[in-house]
Amino acid sequence: MLDDISDDRATAATTGPPPNADRRLDITGQICPMTFVRTKLALETMAPGEVLEVRLRQGEPLDNVPRSVREMGHELLAIEAETAAAGIVRLWIRLKG
């Protein structure tokens, strides 16, 4: 998967296919703190148990978004680096409830 992710994020990385997403969000063009704000707003429109796929850049967004959604009580299901786009990562988050 990703060689440079922290142990906290690595625990969510899966080796199988990623989960099916109920909704997708691309925040690759955003900077912090808007990366988390946009993710939070998307999660607020979803039903408990639904899965959000978030496409973001490595670095600060990848450090902050997974940590923040876990602090909110949501489940980080998987993290996957995109092979077609350097520095882009996808996360799958299950809404708590």
* Cα torsion angle, 85, 86, 92, 93, sign: negative
Domains (range + CATH), the chain: 7-94 (3.30.110.40)
pLDDT tens-digit map of 67-86: 999 999 999 999 999 877 78
Residue 30 has pLDDT above 60, yes or no: yes
Residue 2 has pLDDT above 90, yes or no: no
pTM for the predicted model, two decimal places: 0.82
Q: Is 32 assigned a catalytic role?
A: yes
Q: Which residue in the list 13, 21, 32, 46 is annotated as catalytic?
A: 32
On average, the pLDDT of the chain sits at 86
Residue 56 has pLDDT above 80, yes or no: yes
Nearest to 26 by CA among 52, 54, 68: 54
According to the model, what pLDDT value does residue 12 have?
Answer: 55
Which CA distances in Å does 41 have to 44, 81, 82, 84, 88? 5, 23, 24, 27, 21
